[in-house]
Chain A
């Protein structure tokens, strides 16, 4: 079956920017799983996909599908023999063929009988709701319709694996939402293994079972959307997924950090054997403004919150929220407050952060 095992996969591009596009990555994708490769542009996610599809030859490492090694530095099974379909960012719908001909192409290559080609094409066009447009040419279709043709064309051949390269990035926001669920639906009806490349974390969260977050050719973290959001392994992960404030602090005991003299309690899920500099991650919407009572001290308080003090540098009214930029004695953080909370620029404010919202990752 289509269990994919990537081990030590490395690919460098020669030339001026001779960097390692993919740097010794390991990743296993279970049969029937949807794995998203997410990361900023240039992180190596598309190169990984090209390696998976067999368009590139690795410099080191292997890719195995089931028991069969399909890519190694010595030997690459060509794309046409891998039983992997690829959906392209550009759709790559052939302009010289009708919708029907586009979808039937792979079946012709398989040398199926005319009636079977007819049957399967018709059926898949129904699935993607393109039956009425079967005789159109791609130039007569909208972007979303072209994307559905690409999807139908890729799944009609019953591939073991479906690779998707930024499939929705050329669509407008509404269509993108619709297609995200469409892709998920196709997965749920076929049970096909999918590898989904995107730079959009929301897309990854909707479509994927697990997410592999990539940075500079390496995998930063693999896990479910919940894992990655709740337990980011690094400041990069926390910043990329959901957005966060990163605050340099010092770990003084497993549950406590020191930030500018104030002792803050943090979540107990970072096993820092060595004490010392760490990064405190707090998401902007988890910070609340406190009413100043005059007597309360800064730092951890008995009600389960940490209190910080700062100065408002800037605030922006956004309708459904107010976006604050606050200076905490040299460290600037963003706070997303309800629109009713209105503090003037320059005023001193106190902020409460629940211990649950204070995550620490290795400092850098």
Chain B
């Protein structure tokens, strides 16, 4: 049906019964343009603008990629991303094998701990590791120096190595998830075939199992690489003090006075290009992986008996959760409960003071907590509604080319948060839409950034609805929009709730785009953590961090209960 041609005559026919349906769908398209197309177009446009004067130039690119102080961060970013991805893959692969294929004890709690690491933002891990391994005051360093009596502890988290360590920890779950699900789908017969031919367990693993899960390992590697190269929080906390810039922190510095938006836009382009390229490569690999898994059946399978190695292996497997979840959570919790963190969590120093301070007494943090929840909720609602309307428009082909809107919805997926923030800043920091300094610009950033999650989730669900259910309502006199409201949306209610949560959770912990767009009036929990960290208020940092983690864990566990275990899956695929 063609809305455009049917609307006009209908109005003539029955003047009283105007159908407002098309307005909603056209409205969704306009909003989509504001969220995605305008910022990305501005990003490209501004990168070839002469600063303050106007006119087209390639000068920004020349400056960005020939000046030596700007080249060093690019090298650092590559070192960081390659190291993080390599270490994460080297740790994640054996971990996946141990947990999914062997009789190692404690596999279930380990899996839960890795999920906890997955939902922990790495910049909170970085904060925790500052508490643990800052050169002089870090607890681990102090514990060591109390024996060695050296003036410095051996660990320095404020270094490229420190950043690699922290980010690798929080990227292990990517490789782990890909490889574990690959191993679970792998037909056990393939391995049996090798062992019946006399292959030793080690040989079977090397020549059969490992090659078969290689695509999963590579996919995990790419995912970690992309996360690491686009990550802002951890480098900002650990590398800005170390004066070892990476691309994302350098972009942040371009936004310190004097603001050089044009240069930043040009400098961000390789990040965009590399993301786009690697995601295409990963798609190919994962597409082929499915092919290799045909005939695989999950469920019951024999586990490899580790024998005497069971406990040593558990020791190894515990290392990652220990460093990514147990120690950091403990450090943050202890600090948030200590009047002065350097005194340590000892009786007399323990207090709930900082929670009272953060939630009640300090208007700054009180407002920030409220902002995080408010912006997150509005962004989650907006993203869900837009994703629903666009998924519906595309699936029901409301007008020619409607399916192309889906591609626009997915576009932010290939844009690192920091790059998106530059585009949004460039587009909306001047008339006609002067939004810089308002809550709206942060909400736009969050909505855009996480729209692909809501869209990919809802698109498959809308496609799965039998259109007869909708058509039945139409023949009974319901307009399209009434049908969407009373039939389609209620049928999708689980999907809508899942989409909402999948946007809300990352939105309340989003730092990389918020950092460019917030002003003191619109600070959120994450920007507040950034400011407190800068000022050395680690008790405040820890308290807010614990609040974010608590909110996340509560939501995730509630969602698990009501929506089933697979509700997070769409996020990683």
Chain A positions within 8 Å of B, measured between CB atoms, are 53-57, 74-82, 84-86, 88-92, 94-96, 105-106, 109-110, 150, 153-154, 157, 159, 163
Which chain A positions have C-beta within 8 A of B482?
A: 109
Q: Is the CB of B14 within 8 A of A105?
A: no
Residues B460-512 near A (CB distance < 8 A): 466, 468-469, 471-480, 482, 486-487, 490-491, 493
Q: A75-B5, A90-B466, A92-B466 are in contact. Are A53 and B475 (CB under 8 A)?
A: yes
Q: Is the CB of B14 within 8 A of A79?
A: no
Q: How far is the CA of A53 from the CA of B10 in the complex (A)?
A: 16
B307 within 8 A of A: no
User: B17, B471, B480, B482: which has the most chain A beta carbons within 10 Å?
Assistant: B471
Q: Is the CB of B476 within 8 A of A92?
A: no
Which B residue sits closest to A165, measured CB to CB?
B468
Q: Is the CB of A57 within 8 A of B1?
A: yes
Q: Is the CB of B472 within 8 A of A86?
A: yes
Which chain A positions have C-beta within 8 A of B478?
A: 80, 105, 109
Which chain A positions have C-beta within 8 A of B5?
A: 57, 74-75
Which chain B positions have C-beta within 8 A of A56?
A: 1
Q: How far is the CA of A53 from the CA of B477 in the complex (A)?
A: 12
B196 within 8 A of A: no
Which chain B positions have C-beta within 8 A of A157?
A: 476-477
B9 within 8 A of A: yes
Chain A binding surface SS class:
loop
Which chain B positions have C-beta within 8 A of A96?
A: 490-491, 493
Which B residue sits closest to A89, measured CB to CB?
B468
Q: Is the CB of B1 within 8 A of A80?
A: no
Q: A75-B5, A88-B468, A90-B466 are in contact. Are A105 and B476 (CB under 8 A)?
A: yes
Which chain A positions have C-beta within 8 A of B6?
A: 75-78
Which chain B positions have C-beta within 8 A of A110?
A: 477
Q: Is the CB of B10 within 8 A of A109?
A: no
Which chain B positions have C-beta within 8 A of A55?
A: 1, 471, 474
B2 within 8 A of A: yes
A sample of 28 inter-chain contacts (CB < 8 A) reads A53-B475, A55-B474, A57-B1, A57-B2, A57-B5, A74-B5, A75-B5, A76-B1, A77-B10, A77-B13, A78-B480, A79-B474, A80-B475, A80-B479, A85-B476, A86-B475, A89-B468, A92-B468, A92-B469, A94-B487, A94-B491, A96-B491, A105-B476, A106-B476, A109-B477, A153-B476, A154-B476, A159-B475
Which chain A positions have C-beta within 8 A of B472?
A: 86, 88, 92, 94, 150, 153
User: B10, B476, B480, B493: which has the most chain A beta carbons within 10 Å?
Assistant: B476
Q: How far is the CA of A74 from the CA of B17 in the complex (A)?
A: 20
Q: Is the CB of A81 within 8 A of B475?
A: no
Q: Report the tally of A-B residue pairs with Cβ distances under 8 A.
A: 89
Q: How far is the CA of A56 from the CA of B478 in the complex (A)?
A: 17
Which chain A positions have C-beta within 8 A of B466?
A: 90, 92
Q: A55-B1, A57-B2, A74-B5 are in contact. Are A90 and B479 (CB under 8 A)?
A: no
Q: Is the CB of B471 within 8 A of A78?
A: no
**Shortest CB distance B554–A (Å):** 28
Q: Is the CB of A106 within 8 A of B477?
A: yes
Which A residue sits closest to B482, measured CB to CB?
A109
**Shortest CB distance A108–B (Å):** 9
Q: How far is the CA of A53 from the CA of B476 in the complex (A)?
A: 11
Which chain B positions have C-beta within 8 A of A85?
A: 475-476
Which chain A positions have C-beta within 8 A of B1?
A: 54-57, 76, 78
B1-26 toward A: CB 8 Å interface, digit per residue (1/0)? 11001100110011001010000000
Q: A78-B6, A80-B479 are in contact. List 16 more A-B contacts (CB 8 A).
A: A55-B471, A74-B5, A76-B1, A77-B10, A77-B13, A78-B10, A78-B474, A79-B474, A81-B10, A85-B475, A90-B466, A90-B468, A92-B472, A105-B486, A154-B476, A163-B475
Q: How far is the CA of A157 from the CA of B468 in the complex (A)?
A: 18
**Shortest CB distance B115–A (Å):** 31
Which chain B positions have C-beta within 8 A of A89?
A: 468
Which of B14, B19, B471, B486 sits near A86, CB closer than 8 Å? B471
B424-452 toward A: CB 8 Å interface, digit per residue (1/0)? 00000000000000000000000000000
Which chain B positions have C-beta within 8 A of A92?
A: 466, 468-469, 471-472
Q: How far is the CA of A92 from the CA of B471 in the complex (A)?
A: 9
**Shortest CB distance B22–A (Å):** 11
Number of interface residues of B (CB under 8 A): 29
Which B residue sits closest to A56, measured CB to CB?
B1
**Shortest CB distance B91–A (Å):** 45
Q: How far is the CA of A78 from the CA of B10 in the complex (A)?
A: 9
**Shortest CB distance B25–A (Å):** 14
Which A residue sits closest to B474, measured CB to CB?
A79
Which chain A positions have C-beta within 8 A of B2?
A: 57
**Shortest CB distance B186–A (Å):** 36
**Shortest CB distance B508–A (Å):** 30
Q: Is the CB of A105 within 8 A of B10?
A: no
Q: Is the CB of B476 within 8 A of A109?
A: yes
Q: How far is the CA of A153 from the CA of B487 in the complex (A)?
A: 15
Which chain B positions have C-beta within 8 A of A109?
A: 473, 476-478, 482
Which chain B positions have C-beta within 8 A of A81?
A: 10, 14, 17, 477
Q: Is the CB of A84 within 8 A of B475?
A: yes
Q: How far is the CA of A86 from the CA of B473 in the complex (A)?
A: 9
B256-298 toward A: CB 8 Å interface, digit per residue (1/0)? 0000000000000000000000000000000000000000000
**Smallest CB-CB A-B distances: 10 pairs:** A106-B476, A92-B468, A79-B474, A92-B472, A88-B468, A109-B477, A86-B475, A75-B9, A96-B490, A80-B477
Q: How far is the CA of A79 from the CA of B473 in the complex (A)?
A: 9
Which chain A positions have C-beta within 8 A of B480?
A: 78
Q: How far is the CA of A85 from the CA of B474 in the complex (A)?
A: 9
Which A residue sits closest to B8, measured CB to CB?
A75
Which B residue sits closest to A82, measured CB to CB?
B475
Q: How far is the CA of A105 from the CA of B472 in the complex (A)?
A: 10
Q: How far is the CA of A248 from the CA of B466 in the complex (A)?
A: 46
Which chain B positions have C-beta within 8 A of A91?
A: 468
Which chain A positions have C-beta within 8 A of B490?
A: 96
User: A80, A84, A94: which has the most chain B beta carbons within 10 Å?
Assistant: A80
**Shortest CB distance A12–B (Å):** 15
Which A residue sits closest to B492, measured CB to CB?
A96
User: B10, B19, B473: which has the most chain A beta carbons within 10 Å?
Assistant: B473
**Shortest CB distance A83–B (Å):** 8
Q: How far is the CA of A159 from the CA of B17 in the complex (A)?
A: 19
Which chain A positions have C-beta within 8 A of B468?
A: 88-92
Q: How far is the CA of A81 from the CA of B13 in the complex (A)?
A: 11
Q: How far is the CA of A105 from the CA of B476 in the complex (A)?
A: 8
User: B5, B466, B472: which has the most chain A beta carbons within 10 Å?
Assistant: B472
Q: How far is the CA of A217 from the CA of B365 in the complex (A)?
A: 70
Q: Is the CB of A94 within 8 A of B469?
A: yes
Q: A109-B477, A109-B478 are in contact. Are A79 and B9 (CB under 8 A)?
A: no
Which of B10, B14, B475, B491 sits near A95, CB closer than 8 Å? B491
Which A residue sits closest to B472, measured CB to CB?
A92
**Shortest CB distance B16–A (Å):** 12
User: B6, B9, B19: which has the most chain A beta carbons within 10 Å?
Assistant: B6
Q: A92-B466, A92-B469, A94-B469 are in contact. Are A79 and B475 (CB under 8 A)?
A: yes
Which B residue sits closest to A68, measured CB to CB?
B13
**Shortest CB distance A104–B (Å):** 10
